[in-house]
Structure 1
Amino acid sequence: MSVAHTGVTPQVHGGPCGDDDCGIRDVLDRIGDKWSVLVVVELAKGVRRFRELERAIPGISQRMLTVTTRGLCRDGMVERTAYATIPPQVEYRLTPMGESLAGAIRHLADWSREHRDAIGGARAEWDGRDVTRP
């Protein structure tokens, strides 16, 4: 793949398809991706232009933002609108399905805040245990 490649590569998973596994792995790969979550969170605040997204998401490269927004558009979670202006202007917005995903992300963030202290305590307990004993 070239450095300039920004196409969406289809995911291919071999093996038999379980009862509920058909297609779910591909969806979870998309929505579990760090950059996809951050793009959805930012777009939940409203319509954003490409450069606005790039500035709002620390650490994301232009290429990764392009790949991520294309994947989210391909999956029907984001709508891309290009305007014939000079320079060209592109806006992104969540679709109804993307809004639904943003709601699920908000619930997960709420759960994380609610359990942050308990998780910290469990980690401290785990890290402090004697690993030489069974």
Structure 2
Amino acid sequence: MRKAEPDALIEMRRHEPVPVSLDPVIEALVQDIIGQVADRWTMLILEALEAGGTLRYTQLRKAVPGISQKMLTQTVRQMERDGLVRRTVHPVIPPHVDYVLTPLGHSLGAAFCGVWVWAETHHAEIMRARAAFAQRSS
């Protein structure tokens, strides 16, 4: 995933003290969003659209290796429902459909870009820990 520009509002809020109590509505939304983006396909689709801009369905499927037609359809529909992706159906024969990230989708990419940077930064350390664990477990 390409390095995204940080969102100024999010960066400002990150430095605020942690609230004493959490809003249950926000907590439920966070758990829902984490559950969605934690699946392998959402992040890969997000990355493909971030890199490719507007993509037709077939282009998006090629950009996400290993995804089935059913899984791609389910995932982009979920992303569309959440306002992360805009789907445009062109009234031509045969019809074609384009997908593009919304500003909300771009901002989610920026938020999760930190995970990619973290993984890249700590890759060697993680691989050493995994190797040590495998050695102890065998």
Report what 2:58 is aligned to: 51
Deviation above 4 Å: which 4+ runs of structure 1? Answer: 17-20
Of 69, 86, 105, which aligns to 2:112?
A: 105
Report what 1:119 is aligned to: 126
Report what 2:81 is aligned to: 74
**Structure 2 CA distance, aligned partners of 1:51 and 1:113?**
30
Equivalence map 1:1-134=2 (5 Å): 19=24, 21-45=27-51, 46-129=53-136
> Which consecutive residues of structure 1, in runs of 5 or more, have no partner in the other structure?
1-16
Aligned length: 115
- CA positional deviation for 1:130: 7.3
Identity of aligned residues (%): 38
Report what 1:14 is aligned to: none
State the TM-score, normalized to the length of structure 1: 0.78
> Which consecutive residues of structure 2, in runs of 5 or more, have no partner in the other structure?
1-21
**Structure 1 CA distance, aligned partners of 2:134 and 2:23?**
36
Task: Report the residue type matching 1:34 in the other structure.
Answer: R
**Structure 1 CA distance, aligned partners of 2:31 and 2:104?**
18
Question: Considering only aligned residues, what root-mean-square deviation do their CA atoms show, in Å?
Answer: 2.0
Task: Report the residue type matching 1:35 in the other structure.
Answer: W
**Structure 1 CA distance, aligned partners of 2:64 and 2:101?**
16
- CA positional deviation for 1:71: 0.2
**Structure with more contact order per residue of length (Cα contacts < 8 Å, sep ≥ 6):** 2
- CA positional deviation for 1:123: 1.8
- CA positional deviation for 1:54: 0.7
Give 1 or 2: higher helix fraction.
2
Rg comparison, structure with higher value = 1
Task: Report the residue type matching 1:62 in the other structure.
Answer: Q
State the TM-score, normalized to the length of structure 2: 0.75
Task: Report the residue type matching 2:38 in the other structure.
Answer: G
